[in-house]
């Protein structure tokens, strides 16, 4: 917006004054630090040499010309090579008038037919979703919505890892120790029931390893020779060969898990445009590998295993097919990537996967390139850090993960207790109360996770996340509800009057208008960086500044009609932007709390 206009003016001024040709993207414009007077700062150091003047003199010349040419500049000051610009009140008031009539200010309509494919969730069907999966799902869903807000056509997809040795471990344990237990007979969600047997397998596996070690076998050999592991490996071979009994058991237990997953997704407000299953893509991956082998692009060892030699590219050799012909994760990822290219012809494929898989995606792109798929450069790994608890790391095999369903239930209960303690639900029906508690709990959970840069590891503290006064989702939700309460009390005619452009702004009004003005740029930056954290931290800053404005500045009590009207329109636009920002994070913007 204003940055582009200023950059164009500076280009012309620099050409006229110093005979230097530059383009707008070369002009460095940034927010003026809070310690200095001004709204925007232009860095003039790049022009000092051509100007043959000091940084201060160069800035003075550019500032004088800018003020003459651009009526949005009210004043300027100089600090060394930094030109600090004061934007006029008239510009901000006109912005308020224009933005207030836009239905979705800061949000672009779809302007691209070629989609971006965003893969997230990608669970294994041997355990329920846990806190780590929650971060994955929330990042994937929010990034998808942010990309849509930037005009992109987005396909949100899920790849369910429904085959492999880990799946067979749960199946084998249920077969041996389950006594026919089902979700109906046990009262457990299907994913919880299957996860129970995954943990049970690990317990028996460790016992067998210990027994073998006690007979003199080395621990390393014991991990390979444990009978229960050998049985699981044999089950995998039977599955891949289509053994009817094995396939029937696999279908039954997987369906239990799918039903459980769907309930959790609904609770989190997560959905997908398409769900892929590894069992349906790994064969395509195998055919791609075998084709590459026949063309001499891959190597087969004496044990019949197939490998990609990536040593010339600074990596190592990568196994693509085991000696018994079974697939590895990389095999199915090759097949899935090719399948999505055929289906969607995407401009980009974004994989939301934890940072422990950084090497995997580096290899995936390189193997695809080696096999002749030039579109591999369009693969992007959105790598995110791990989630830890105050108690330390989680371990699925040992059953020490934080279960997603249990966490949501616990947070909803905390939201109920906190809200009731504040006495804010007196006029709510029971259904409205339950909806409110869930919305606050989800707002707390989603905001606490999404406010952290995806690339960073994070410590999740449920108690901190639900505070109504801190840097939390409930604080922002409450601010939105507070504004709507104010607007309900306002005279509707005040909202329809044109904003007076003559009356000067007070500092708090200008601060909020400056933040509102930034929203489209923040949405764009969040899309460019695939970072919901930029949206989350922005909307907190806006809510914080609005609350300060609300506490210290009369709005409905303002005697001057024109000022009251302007402050109400500012409040309404603030509510709209908070609503849009929260929506991009998957958080409900409540109107009553």
327: DSSP letter: B
Within 387-531, where are the H helices? 404-421, 430-450, 462-465, 473-489, 507-529
The pTM score is: 0.92
Kindly report the backbone phi and psi dihedral angles of residue 174, in degrees, each rounded to the nearest multiple of 5, phi listed first. Answer: -65, -40
Contact 445, 406 (CB under 8 A): no
Closest CA to 582 of 455, 434, 442: 442
**pLDDT of the chain, 593 residues: tens digit per residue:** 798 899 999 999 999 999 989 999 999 999 999 889 999 999 999 999 999 999 999 999 999 999 999 989 999 999 998 999 999 999 999 999 999 999 899 999 999 889 999 999 999 999 899 998 999 999 999 999 999 999 999 999 999 999 889 999 999 999 999 999 999 999 999 999 999 999 999 999 999 999 999 999 999 999 999 999 999 999 999 998 999 999 999 999 999 999 999 999 999 999 999 999 999 888 999 999 999 999 999 999 999 999 999 999 999 999 999 998 888 889 999 999 999 999 999 999 999 999 999 999 999 999 999 999 999 999 999 999 988 877 655 444 444 568 899 899 989 998 998 888 887 787 899 999 999 999 999 999 999 999 999 999 998 887 788 888 889 999 999 999 999 999 999 976 666 667 777 799 999 999 999 999 999 999 999 999 999 999 999 999 999 999 999 999 999 999 999 999 999 999 999 999 999 999 999 999 999 98
SS (H, E, C) 227-296: HHHHHHHHHHHHHHCCCHHHHHHHHHHHHHHHHHHHHHHHHHCCCCCEEEEHHHHHHHHHHHHHHHHHCC
Beta strand 379-384 pairing with 348-354: parallel
CA 438 to chain centre: 21
Contact 166, 123 (CB under 8 A): no
Kindly report the backbone phi and psi dihedral angles of residue 321, in degrees, each rounded to the nearest multiple of 5, phi listed first. Answer: -140, 135
Closest CA to 35 of 88, 74, 76, 79: 79
Q: Is 384 helix (H, G, I), strand (E, B) or coil?
A: strand
């Amino acid at each position: 917006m204003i940055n582009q206009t200023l950059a164009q003016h500076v280009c012309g001024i620099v050409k006229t004054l110093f005979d230097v040709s530059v383009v707008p993207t070369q002009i460095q414009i940034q927010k003026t630090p809070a310690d200095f007077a001004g709204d925007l700062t232009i860095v003039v150091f790049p022009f000092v040499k051509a100007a043959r003047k000091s940084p201060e003199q160069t800035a003075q010349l550019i500032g004088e010309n800018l003020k003459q040419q651009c009526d949005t500049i009210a004043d300027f000051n100089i600090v060394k090579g930094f030109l600090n610009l004061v934007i006029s009140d008239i510009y901000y008031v006109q912005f308020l008038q224009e933005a207030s009539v836009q239905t979705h200010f800061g949000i672009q309509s779809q302007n691209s037919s070629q989609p971006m494919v965003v893969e997230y969730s990608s669970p294994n069907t041997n355990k329920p979703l846990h806190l780590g999966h929650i971060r994955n799902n929330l990042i994937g869903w929010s990034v998808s919505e942010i990309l849509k807000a930037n005009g992109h056509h987005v396909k949100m997809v899920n790849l369910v890892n429904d085959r492999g040795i880990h799946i067979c471990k749960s199946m084998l344990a249920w077969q041996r120790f389950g006594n026919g237990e089902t979700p109906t007979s046990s009262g457990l969600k299907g994913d919880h029931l299957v996860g129970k047997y995954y943990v049970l397998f690990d317990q028996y596996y460790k016992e067998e390893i210990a027994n073998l070690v006690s007979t003199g076998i080395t621990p390393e050999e014991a991990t390979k020779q444990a009978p229960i592991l050998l049985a699981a490996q044999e089950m995998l071979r039977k599955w891949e060969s289509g053994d009817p009994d094995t396939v029937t058991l696999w279908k039954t237990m997987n369906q239990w898990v799918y039903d459980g997953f769907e309930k959790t997704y609904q609770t989190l407000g997560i959905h997908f445009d398409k769900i892929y299953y590894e069992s349906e893509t790994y064969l395509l991956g195998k055919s791609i590998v075998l084709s590459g082998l026949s063309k001499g692009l891959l190597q087969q060892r004496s044990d019949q295993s197939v490998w990609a030699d990536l040593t010339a590219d600074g990596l190592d050799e990568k196994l693509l097919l085991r000696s018994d012909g079974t697939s590895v994760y990389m095999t199915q990822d090759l097949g899935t990537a090719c399948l999505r290219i055929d289906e969607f012809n995407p401009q980009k494929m974004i994989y939301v996967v934890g940072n422990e898989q950084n090497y995997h995606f580096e290899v995936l792109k390189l193997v695809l390139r080696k096999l002749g798929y030039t579109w591999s450069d369009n693969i992007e790994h959105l790598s995110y850090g791990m989630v830890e608890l105050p108690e330390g790391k989680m371990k699925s095999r040992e059953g020490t993960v934080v279960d997603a369903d249990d966490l949501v239930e616990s947070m909803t209960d905390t939201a109920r207790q906190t809200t009731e303690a504040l006495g804010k639900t007196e006029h709510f029906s029971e259904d409205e109360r339950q909806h409110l508690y869930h919305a606050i709990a989800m707002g707390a959970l989603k905001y606490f996770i999404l406010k952290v840069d995806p690339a960073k590891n994070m410590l999740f503290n449920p108690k901190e996340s639900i505070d109504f006064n801190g840097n939390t989702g409930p604080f922002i939700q409450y601010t939105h509800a507070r504004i709507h309460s104010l607007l309900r009390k306002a005279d509707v005619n005040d909202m329809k009057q044109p904003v007076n452009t003559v009356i000067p702004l007070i500092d708090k009004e200008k601060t909020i208008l400056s933040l509102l003005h930034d929203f489209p740029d923040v949405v764009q930056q969040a899309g460019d960086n695939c970072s919901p954290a930029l949206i989350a931290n922005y909307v907190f800053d806006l809510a914080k500044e609005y609350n300060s404005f609300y506490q210290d500045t009369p709005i409905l009590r303002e005697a001057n009609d024109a000022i009251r009207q302007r402050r109400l329109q500012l409040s309404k636009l603030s509510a709209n932007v908070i609503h849009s920002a929260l929506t991009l994070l998957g958080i409900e913007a409540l109107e009553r709390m």
